[in-house]
Structure 1
Amino acid sequence: MTKTPDSVVRSYLDQHQAAFLADLADWLRIPSVSADPDRAQDVRRSAEWLAAKLRETGFPVAEVWETDGLPAVFAEWPSGEPGAPTVLVYGHHDVQPAAKEDGWDTEPFEPVTVGDRLYARGAADDKGQVFFHTLGLRAHLAATGRTAPAVNLKLLVEGEEESGSPNFGALLRREADRLAADAVFVSDTGMWNETTPTVCTGMRGITDCQVDLYGPDSDIHSGSFGGAVPNPATVAAELAAALHDAERRVDIPGFYDDVIELTERERELFARLPFDEEQWLRVAKSHGTQGEAGYSTLERIWARPTAEVNGVWGGYTGPGRKTIVPAEAHLKLSFRLVAGQRVEKIQQLVREWIEARIPAGVRSEIVFKGASRPCLTPLDHPALQSTVRAMGRAFGQEILFTREGGSGPAADLAEVLGAPVLFLGISVPSDGWHSINEKVEIGLLRKGVEASAYLWGDLAEHFRPAAADAN
């Protein structure tokens, strides 16, 4: 019987899976905790290990890139085919802190296989999902008989993602020419669950601020002065209460002006996911849903912008009574943004909205902290369709779609490189990112390898970059 490319890929994985898992375990033993200054050398050791393994995989270029903080890894393997698309894969090699005394059943940096699960810090987030591309690429070459990938393939593996990527933007801008790509694939994401394979199509952005309100020069007697001077704690409460209207929409003029609305097709696909709201509430440790009227829970957390009061404080909060008008009060606010919204515009709208509500006699200071832009890939984008086909071949079933309610560096990649961002991940909610007993399902990890093996040829066949079309 003639072997198909898919059967060649699967046969190759059968032969090499054990060695792949042994290599991954070696990498997982390196405690590359970016948040711990005492682990800085381990993060460097992790980067050097990966660069060496990528060279062993066949990448002619694999380098450790320095930043003002901890190192990243860059690798490149040209296709040699005229007009082939250039693809950049992003992930990170740093991990969250972990110790046995946190409640782990095993040592977090000594990988343990139990049944079809591999337990270790970084198994899913994100070393396992970065590393599956090495075996996937080799399987791609074996199935196609090629000596180089069907696409111009690049990897960028960050070393500070778990610390908020403080130097990532600067690295992208510094190395933009070498990182130039027609599409970016983020392998730091997951699927709906073990039996429902999905592809993420977007992430929300975020901007947040602290509002400091100052009234009297010191706390003053509420009997002698209350009701005759402005109270900054009352102003803080009024600001928090005014953020939303009766329909739970953000009540800041212009806030929704640029929002890219959900299509009916997207809403229908979200509705097909096996969503259990009661189970979701248990995970959320909450006792009821609330949000913008006219949208489902998934639509609210994936595709609608939000405003949240993260904290309000001021005045006296100790035991007993202290009847004062406090000298100051404070709020922390955050805004999740969706495709179409611009961070700078939202910050200006928020600033104007707050300042218009500050009464005479109260001084305000508004400081915006971090920011991340939203990103979204349309369902009909050819690179997304290639991803869906590759996942479908690996899983042998229909692939559905999700988005991420959180935020990450994906939008920075899209902005600096001017390329669409796609997501290819196989992690599931039970993997326990950032938690004790983090694990990866070995069967799903293999599916990720297989999808990676199919993806590059599919992109080469179906994805024509804009520059190639112009020629």
Structure 2
Amino acid sequence: MSADVLAHIDATLDQRLQSLFQLIRIPSVSTDPAYAGDVARCAAWLAETLQAMGAEASVRPTTGHPMVVGHLPGPADAPHVLFYGHYDVQPADPLELWNSDPFEPILRKVGDETHIVARGASDDKGALMTFVEACRAYIEVKGSLPLRVSFLFEGEEESGSPSLAAFLESAKDELDCDLVLVCDTDMWGQDTPAITTSLRGLLGQEVSVTAGDRDLHSGMFGNAAANAVTVLTQALASMRSPEGGVAFAGFYDDVQMPPAERRAEWAALPFDAAAFLGGVGRAVPAGEAAYSVLEQIWARPSCEINGIWGGYTEPGFKTVIPAKAHAKVSFRLAAGQDPEKIRAAFQAHIRSQMPADCTVEFADHGLSPAWAAQADNPYLAPALAGLAAEWGSSTTCGTGGTIPIIGALNGILGVDALLVGFARFDNRIHSPNEKYDLSSFHKGMKAWVNVMDDLAKV
């Protein structure tokens, strides 16, 4: 291992922390047009930072917010890795729930840990900068990296990555590589970093039911006229089976479960399902009884109603039969499932539940396939060893979330990925008082140095 680089990171931690603070102070909120200038300024800051390290780097325009692409040379016979991160952040609202300015990072001592508190501290600026600063430190000590490294920083991840696929298609020759590295996932435990080997896909749908041309008086038309809210809720309820699964035709046809050895590895992890649910005020697993809680959230598909509205919901009371009702429904998809096929099956099922005098319309809100790492990925074991050299242990895990870039990179560039996480589960991403542990930033940089050394030997 590069002990001299690790010692250099220890000696220059404050300087690297100040660099992260500069990035965090730029309010790069991608979903709000009012921040478009700040998003562009953030992209420029990253390009200049890479250039100062000796990279060939530039801001690349898209139909939306810009991408940042950079390249650092390495030995010609070494693997070529592409590091992906996103520099955009969620809105800070509601501001009144923050204990400090969301875009003025502070260090807050909590027990034995020190938290970096700010919007984007964890998702994804802190994680992104662990790798950038590891590369910078390596170059400062050694003069160059042991790998060939390219960077791809996106400015629209928090708003659905609408420009990503087209950009990857246009730049796929330039971004050709042996492996993608991503740092936008969680650690397994307080002191155990993880490489995530599976992600669920995502399908989002908004459903709007119309029954008649106007709201009706419930006394004059009750029982006789269809109620749009009732029609919608009955249709949504029909999607679930008594056993906790999804009931419409074809939903599970293409589901591929992880290999037996990976499921056995998950089963051996120290996980308390009762404590996991109890921590969020639940007590009884609500999904498929035939699968463990970890398997349900990491490898099985789900269907959730995220919001529903219609009729009169203001203060007081109004006895109407609503003519319109709406719901937002999301599906987390397992490996093997085709999002377009599931969308068609879902819409067909809902249409089949409509009375003759009611209509239904659908709107898309995201469409991403699931992803699973290749079982024989030759970079997995060396990366796990590099993480363990710094943290003392490491593991693989799954996650129930979705990262669209992974499916896009796999489909367009045709390369596998390692999803390396230093975030802790309590980091409050997307919530007020988001934080990133100082130890995650410090040890994460050092772990990346080890990982680069080990990957260079593959």
Tell me the TM-score normalized by structure 2: 0.89
**Counterpart residue type for residue 172 of structure 1:** L
Aligned to 1:125: 123
Contact 1:140 1:454 in 2 (8 A): no
Aligned to 1:135: 133
Aligned-partner Cα distance in 1 for 2:217–2:23: 63
Going from structure 1 to structure 2, the CA distance change for 1:332 and 1:392 (only over 3 Å counts) comes to: same
SS for the counterpart of 1:177 is coil
SS for the counterpart of 1:333 is strand
Aligned to 1:469: none
Aligned-partner Cα distance in 2 for 1:376–1:307: 20
**Counterpart residue type for residue 118 of structure 1:** I
User: Which whole-Å deviations, capped at 9, do the CAs of 1:295-323 have from their partners, x for residues lacking one?
Assistant: 12221111110111223444556755737
**Counterpart residue type for residue 399 of structure 2:** E
User: Which whole-Å deviations, capped at 9, do the CAs of 1:431-470 have from their partners, x for residues lacking one?
Assistant: 22223333322222222112211223322322xxxxxxxx
Aligned to 1:202: 198
- Residue 97 of structure 1: how far off its partner (Å): 3.1
Aligned-partner Cα distance in 2 for 1:98–1:308: 25
- Residue 229 of structure 1: how far off its partner (Å): 6.1
Aligned-partner Cα distance in 1 for 2:89–2:313: 38
The answer to whether residue 47 in structure 2 is matched with residue 90 in structure 1 is: no
Contact 1:379 1:385 in 2 (8 A): no
**Among 64, 70, 84, the residue aligned to 2:59:** 64
**Counterpart residue type for residue 417 of structure 2:** V
Contact 2:26 2:103 in 1 (8 A): yes
Contact 2:191 2:391 in 1 (8 A): no
**Counterpart residue type for residue 11 of structure 1:** A
- Which segment drifts farther, 209-218 or 199-208? 209-218
Contact 1:57 1:134 in 2 (8 A): no
**Counterpart residue type for residue 286 of structure 2:** Q
**Counterpart residue type for residue 211 of structure 1:** V
* 1:14-53 superposed matches below 5 A: 14-53=10-49
**Among 413, 421, 425, the residue aligned to 1:425:** 421
Aligned to 2:454: 458
The answer to whether residue 156 in structure 2 is matched with residue 160 in structure 1 is: yes
Aligned-partner Cα distance in 2 for 1:441–1:47: 24
The answer to whether residue 399 in structure 2 is matched with residue 404 in structure 1 is: yes
- Residue 133 of structure 1: how far off its partner (Å): 1.5
SS for the counterpart of 2:332 is strand
- Residue 89 of structure 1: how far off its partner (Å): 0.8
- Residue 215 of structure 1: how far off its partner (Å): 3.3
User: Which whole-Å deviations, capped at 9, do the CAs of 1:5-50 have from their partners, x for residues lacking one?
Assistant: 3433322323332322222222222222323433322222222222
**Counterpart residue type for residue 78 of structure 1:** P
SS for the counterpart of 2:456 is helix
Aligned-partner Cα distance in 1 for 2:136–2:364: 46
**Among 425, 429, 435, the residue aligned to 2:431:** 435
Aligned to 1:362: 358
Aligned-partner Cα distance in 2 for 1:97–1:360: 43
Contact 1:72 1:156 in 2 (8 A): yes
Aligned to 2:298: 302
Going from structure 1 to structure 2, the CA distance change for 1:334 and 1:137 (only over 3 Å counts) comes to: same
- Residue 391 of structure 1: how far off its partner (Å): 0.9
SS for the counterpart of 1:200 is strand
**Counterpart residue type for residue 64 of structure 1:** V
* 1:267-306 superposed matches below 5 A: 267-306=263-302
**Among 257, 262, 267, the residue aligned to 1:261:** 257
Aligned-partner Cα distance in 1 for 2:210–2:93: 43
Aligned-partner Cα distance in 2 for 1:314–1:438: 33
- Residue 85 of structure 1: how far off its partner (Å): 2.9
Matched positions, count:
452
Going from structure 1 to structure 2, the CA distance change for 1:332 and 1:109 (only over 3 Å counts) comes to: closer
Aligned-partner Cα distance in 2 for 1:223–1:102: 43
Aligned to 1:332: 328
User: Which whole-Å deviations, capped at 9, do the CAs of 1:102-135 have from their partners, x for residues lacking one?
Assistant: 3433333333334543333322221121112233
Contact 2:218 2:319 in 1 (8 A): no
Aligned-partner Cα distance in 2 for 1:44–1:221: 52
Contact 2:190 2:424 in 1 (8 A): yes
Aligned to 1:322: 319
- Identity level (%): 39
Going from structure 1 to structure 2, the CA distance change for 1:15 and 1:322 (only over 3 Å counts) comes to: closer
- Residue 92 of structure 1: how far off its partner (Å): 1.2
Aligned to 1:10: 6
- Residue 357 of structure 1: how far off its partner (Å): 3.0
